[in-house]
Each structure stands twice: as structure tokens, then as C-alpha cells.
């Protein structure tokens, strides 16, 4: 069964604004990852944050992790129309073998 839940389910913003998406999960994890999916395509890995990390940056992406609340957030700063896609969080079990994806947030950036 899916372990993560993202909110909001859909988000529409103007180009240049920041977009924040949240993810909640249920059990202990080794790490949490965020992926992006363009319509009808495979997923692309964006960023990984380990369970002992609290914040991580990569370009315009900022990820936070709160293991006490079992939640994570993805912030995309200065959004662009090309950021329009669905974003999924995925949690990885301590065995490192099983990935559980959330339900996704559909982001639309209006030029």
C-alpha cells in the first residue's frame, strides 16, 4: 500500500512565485525522496534527504524533513512554467529495498 500522502493534491501559481508541497508518511524510514513526473512519462529523481537530516538544498529546491511528525516539504523557489508537473514523495524502508510513493501534487505554473 502507498505510504505517503501529499497535499495539496493540486496547486496553481504564477511564474516567479514559490510552490510548497507537503508529504506525510506512516512508518520509520531510511530516507525520503522527491520525484517529478511530466504527463505520461516516467518519474525523475529530484532530491533525497536522509532520516538524520533536517533540511537539504539543490538549486531552486529546498526539502525539509521532520521525523517526529513524519512529514516533509518540498519548496520550489522562483517557479517557472517548465516546473509544471506532478511531484511525488517516496519513502524508503530501512532495508533499502522498498519504495512507497505518495499520491502526488499536480503543480501548474502559469506564465
Residues 23-42, one symbol each (x = binds another protein by CB under 8 A, - = not), give -------xx-x-x----xxx
Strand order in the sheet with 19-24: 5-7, 19-24, 71-76, 61-66, 55-58
> Cis (ω within 30 of 0) for the bond into 8?
yes
Burial of 29 by CB count in 10 Å (0-12 exposed, 13-18 middle, 19+ buried)? buried
Task: Identify which of residues 43 and 65 has a Cβ nearer to another protein in the complex.
Answer: 43
Among 8, 27, 28, 45, which residue sits at the site for another protein (rule: CB under 8 A)? 45
Task: Identify which of residues 16 and 104 has a Cβ nearer to another protein in the complex.
Answer: 104
* Smallest separation (angstroms) from another protein to the CB of 16: 27
Is the separation of the CB atoms in 107 and 11 below 8 Å?
Answer: yes
Among 49, 70, 85, 104, which residue sits at the site for another protein (rule: CB under 8 A)? 104
Q: Does 48 bind another protein (CB under 8 A)?
A: yes
How many whole angstroms separate alpha carbon 32 and alpha carbon 101? 10
Task: Identify which of residues 26 and 78 has a Cβ nearer to another protein in the complex.
Answer: 26
Interface residues with another protein (CB under 8 A) are 1-2, 4, 30-31, 33, 35, 40-45, 48, 88, 90, 92, 96-104, 106
Amino acid at each position: 500500500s502507498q505510504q505517503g500522502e501529499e497535499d495539496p493534491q493540486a496547486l496553481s501559481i504564477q511564474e516567479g512565485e514559490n510552490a510548497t508541497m507537503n508529504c506525510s508518511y506512516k512508518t520509520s524510514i531510511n530516507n525520503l525522496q522527491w520525484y517529478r513526473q511530466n504527463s505520461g512519462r516516467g518519474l525523475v529523481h529530484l532530491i533525497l534527504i536522509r532520516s538524520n537530516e533536517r533540511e537539504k538544498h539543490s538549486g531552486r529546491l529546498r526539502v525539509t524533513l521532520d521525523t517526529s511528525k513524519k512529514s516533509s516539504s518540498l519548496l520550489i523557489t522562483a517557479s517557472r512554467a517548465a516546473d509544471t508537473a506532478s511531484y511525488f514523495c517516496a519513502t524508503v524502508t530501512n532495508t533499502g529495498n522498498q519504495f512507497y510513493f505518495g499520491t502526488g501534487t499536480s503543480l501548474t505554473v502559469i506564465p
